[in-house]
Amino acid sequence: MRKQYNIMTSCDNNLVPYVAVGLTAMAHNLKDADIDFFFLHSHVSRNNIEMLEALCEELENCKIHFHEILVPHAEVYSELAEYGTGWTGEAYYSLCAHLLLPDEIDRVLYLDAGDTLIVGDIAPYYHYDFQGKSLVVTGSRYKPYNGNLELFSADDLGDWKEGLPGILRGIFNSGSYMMNLDKMRKDERTLADYQYLSLKLRELFGDDNHNIYWGDQGLLSATFVGDVRYYGFPEIRNLWYMPYNFCLWYYDRMNEKPNYSPAILHFAGTAFKPWNGTYPIFTERFQKKEQLHSMNELKNGQAGYFYLWHEYAIMANTILDKIGF
């Protein structure tokens, strides 16, 4: 029986080339699957959209159905991003995925555009029981309580000293997460809800503070705290357990590979992004010579994942050359 997945990302023109690399890795590693891939944007060029569509048609091993979703009210998402750290409005488009995607789509895997890569079986994560929660996530923050690691609750939003700042930094990493679209529709969440939360946080911290929450993951964490399920919890209470959002900052503290096989890589917390590495083969489509870094800048253990990204970049480049993009 063929597996079926709904997968989503969002970005601007700058990251589109790296989405092509991600799609290539997806096709290579999710063999014999039917994938509905939803690409959310507000002003990506027609040429880039056609390039992604054509690539999906050429990719082998699985069937990727490309769906372009034009996001309205882009200025509102940009305003939300204005009080977050480091990301543009496109990173926030997932907030209303339940309103933007077709009603029959009940769940979707969100992936950061560009710096995430599917390299293994995602089925255990994709089909993980929501247990009535809105999100399934890779936990990145716990609350010490009675000698154990526990989850944050909505009550912790009232703890201005430790609870709220930690939540706004992110109780999970937003590189990869599952969204329970059916529940979000039943809860009747709207874009205005996120605007209201952002406004209240600005009233608390001041309109002149443009680092109130840590990008989309900070705003998502404040919105859904108490309404998320950590993958593997409570059996596993370990910040380093992240098979479906393997952040390469793992090697900031670890010298050995994890005791699990990462299925989704996230090139987060590294000295540079994978498209800025100096590889034996330079891929002009995805790289700029003036931005290249020495691989020696990477931590021990990281380089292998970068070379894997480069392999998929070469595959994508070959296909796109063949079809005239």
CATH number of the domain that 287 lies in?
3.90.550.10
Q: How confident is the model at residue 210 (pLDDT cuts 50, 70, 90)?
A: confident
Q: Which domain, by its residues, includes 288?
A: 3-322
3-state secondary structure of 295: helix
Q: How far is CA 81 from CA 32, 153, 216, 308, in A?
A: 38, 24, 8, 32
User: What's the pTM?
Assistant: 0.97
* φ, ψ of residue 43 in degrees (nearest 5): -155, 30
DSSP assignment of 89-110, as one string?
GGGGGGGGHHHHS-TT--EEEE
pLDDT at position 294 is 98
300 Cβ contact list (under 8 Å, min separation 6): 251, 255
The number of domains in the chain is 1
pLDDT in tens, 59-116: 999 999 999 999 999 999 999 999 998 899 999 999 999 999 999 999 999 999 999 9
Q: Do residues 133 and 180 make contact, with C-beta atoms less than 8 angstroms apart?
A: yes
